[in-house]
Amino acid sequence: MSATTHRQTSRRPATATAPTTGKATHGVPNWLVVLLAVASGMTVANLYYAQPLLSSLSNVFHISTATAGGLITLTQVGYVLGMLFLVPLGDRLEKRNLITALLTVTTLALVAAGLATSFPMLLIAALISGATSVVAQILVPFAASLAPDHARGRIVGRVMSGLLTGILLSRTLSSLVSDLAGWRAVFLGSAVLMAVLAVALRAALPQHAPTTAIPYHHVLRSTVRLVRTHPVLLRRGLYQAAMFGAFSAFWTTVSFVLTGPYFHYSSIGVGVFALVGAAGAAIAPFAGHWADRKLARPMTGAAFAVAVLSFALAGLGRHSIVLIGLAAILIDMAVQTTLILGQHTIYQLDPAARARLNSAFIAIFFAGGAAGSELGSVVYHSGGWTALTVLGAALPLIALLYWTTEHRAQTRATR
């Protein structure tokens, strides 16, 4: 966004006065950082609860496992739509009211999913809940706005660790709940959590004034303009699209491997395996620290290399749960590292447009995630686990090759 456009569109700077009670970490109360992390994890988990349920859903609705896998893809498509059309409102509307409204719709959509009497009804509910679960991506720039410049990476890293832990633990929780009370309890239970979360955030979050007064359709157009104005935004989005595509391909198909003829895991076993991947969330605070130390570029390249290695391990260890588990940890660590480094980078581009910057960034890479889920299912069912790991390694390898052009692109931009 140009300086002229910014002067025309900005109404006043964001005002977010964090409560002063509680022990502060770098100017932000610890309890508020924890709440934002937990809330981010709880909302984004809605995108992944269905992954361990695909076999059960295919039996209940008498559909193939490939058709059931479309539920994951459609949920992520909903998330992309929410990123494009809802998250930019974080710059246009008061954030606390927006968060409350979105969580209310999420609650209703999850109730509909839990009461679904047909697969199309479940798909529609998943699309809506996926779109409104973008609350997580409103909370992350909210945290960035509260944080001082010198500690932004660390605070965003802590909030993102909660978000990423929610992604990884969602599968375990879903498996356990469905085994004890059935698949409907997963969605209905999440609806209760969303309702509680709406009340808690409404009470705890400070007011955060809009940063622009331009009409909604201009907000959407300005989001597209940001992608053109800031080449690094598109580059970082494409980096993460490749990484999240590989991540989604792995986690969408690994349950078929674990429940298959070699391992014979139950749904609970698959959920327990997901706990192994959750260990990768430990990297998030370190990634934030690297970002604050201006190590984003070298650590991004290292993360791409680790992702390629992790899929090589997964392919070589297709009959070894230890190697597959190690691969899951490394994949999650690599994806989380590039995500946090990417968000820290784009938040520096325009402080008054962080919601729109985040919207474009997440929409780009979640499109990659949706494509990875769908392509991963197709590749796995046509070529098996070996073909899937080749696909998974190819995506971060392409990103790594693209990364080697970054310095040349920056040099041309400064001429």
Tens of pLDDT, residue by residue over 152-180, are 777 877 787 788 788 778 888 888 898 88
* pLDDT for residue 385: 95
Is the model more confident about 277 or about 341? 341
pLDDT of residue 87: 84
Q: Does the pLDDT at position 281 exceed 80?
A: no
The Cα–Cα gap between 333 and 161 comes to 11
Percent of the chain with pLDDT over 90: 41
Query: Between these two residues, 117 and 277, which has the higher pLDDT value?
Result: 117
What is the CB-side half-sphere exposure of residue 361 using CA atoms within 13 A?
Answer: 29
* Band of residue 7 on the pLDDT scale cut at 50, 70, 90: very low
Residues 91-115 as b/e (b if ≥16 CB within 10 A, e otherwise) read bbbebbebbbbbbebbbbbbbbbbe
Predicted confidence at residue 25, as pLDDT, reads: 46
With a cut of 90, say whether residue 150 has pLDDT above it: no
Question: How far are the Cα atoms of 74, 119, 137, 177, 334 from residue 108, in angstroms, in the given order?
Answer: 18, 17, 20, 20, 35
Please give the C-alpha separations between residue 305 and each of 334, 335, 364, 407, in angstroms, as whole numbers.
Answer: 9, 11, 21, 18
CATH number of 19-414: 1.20.1250.20
Q: Tell me the per-residue pLDDT of 326-340, one tens digit each, with 9 for 90 and over.
A: 999 999 999 989 998
pLDDT, greater one: 390 or 148:
390
Q: What is the pLDDT of residue 27?
A: 63
Question: Minimum mean pLDDT among 46-55, 122-131, 231-240: which range?
Answer: 46-55
Rounded CA Rg of the chain: 20
Q: Which tens digit of pLDDT belongs to each residue from 99-110?
A: 999 999 999 999
DSSP state letter for 44: H
How do beta strands 28-29 and 24-25 pair? antiparallel
Phi, psi of 294 (to 5 degrees): 65, 40
Which element (helix H / strand E) includes 25? Answer: strand 24-25
Asked if pLDDT for residue 148 goes beyond 70, the answer is yes
Per-residue confidence at 95, pLDDT binned at 50, 70, 90? confident
Q: Find the mean pLDDT for residues 27-48.
A: 88
DSSP-assigned states of every residue in 343-375 = HHHHHTT-GGGHHHHHHHHHHHHHHHHHHHHHH
Residue boundaries of the structural domains of the chain: 19-414
| 29: Cα within 13 Å, side-chain hemisphere | 14
